[in-house]
Amino acid sequence: MRRHPVCRYYSKALIQTAGNSEEAKLYMIQLESCRAVFQENTKLFTALFSSWVSFKDKVKILDDISRRINFNEKVYRFLRIIIKNKRIDQFDSILDTYSEMLDQMLNNKTVTIISPKNIVESDKEFAKNHLSALSGKNIKIQNIVDPNILGGLQILLDGKVYDNSIASKLNAIRKSFLEA
C-alpha cells in the first residue's frame, strides 16, 4: 500500500521526540488505543476530519479522548498538530509508518504466515527461532488463516512471498497440463 509522503515525516518526528525505545513503545500503545477509539466511534473521527467543526471543538474532542486514554503530553501535542494541520485523515497511515519505524529501531521484523488453519504455538516458536537465527532480528509471527490454500504455508517476508501451499502446487500442475 502506498502512503502519503507526509506520513513518514510525522512518524519520524514522533520517533525523534520519544528519545528512547521505551518511550517510543509507550507512544505506540497510546496511539493504538486512540485508533481503537476512532474505530469504535467513527462519528468522532469524522468530526475531527470535518471542516464544519471548529478547531476549538476538535481540541475539546481530543481532550475528552485524552482523559479516557490518559495520553502522554507529547502524544497529545502530536495529535493536536495533525488535527491542526488537517492530517487526521492520514492517522492510520501515520500510525502504520510509525509502527514500521519503531520495529526498525527495535530490530524487529514481522513475518506473516498464511496457513489453512491456526498454527500451534510450538510451530510458531520454531519458525520464530529459525527466522531469527537467519536474519539476526527479533521476529514477530502474524498468522493469517486462509482455507483456500488447502495445505502447506505461504510466508510473506520483506515483500516476498514464499509459497509452499498445496493450492499453488495444484495450480502449477494444472498449468503444465494446459500447456502440454
Q: What's 52's domain CATH number?
A: 1.10.520.20
- Helix H or strand E encompassing 100: helix 91-105
Shared domain for 23 and 85, answered yes or no, is yes
Shared domain for 11 and 98, answered yes or no, is yes
Which of 104, 130, 157 terminates a domain? The answer is 104
Chain centroid to CA 126: 24
Please check whether residue 90 is in contact with residue 7, taking contact to mean a CB–CB distance below 8 angstroms: yes
Place of cell 513518514: 8
Mean of pLDDT over the chain? 88
122's grid cell = 510450538
Q: Given phi > 0 = left and psi -120 to 50 = alpha, else beta, which region is 138?
A: beta
Which of 104, 129, 152 terminates a domain? The answer is 104
Which of 76, 104, 132 terminates a domain? The answer is 104
User: pTM for the full model?
Assistant: 0.73
Domain extent at residue 153:
109-179
Shared domain for 97 and 32, answered yes or no, is yes
Round to whole Å and give the CA distance between 47 and 56. Answer: 12
For the ranges 27-36, 39-48, 80-89, 160-169, the lowest mean pLDDT is seen at 160-169
pLDDT at 12: 93
Mean pLDDT within 148-171:
81
Number of domains the chain contains: 2
pLDDT-derived band at 148 (thresholds 50, 70, 90) equals confident
Shared domain for 117 and 174, answered yes or no, is yes
Shared domain for 155 and 169, answered yes or no, is yes
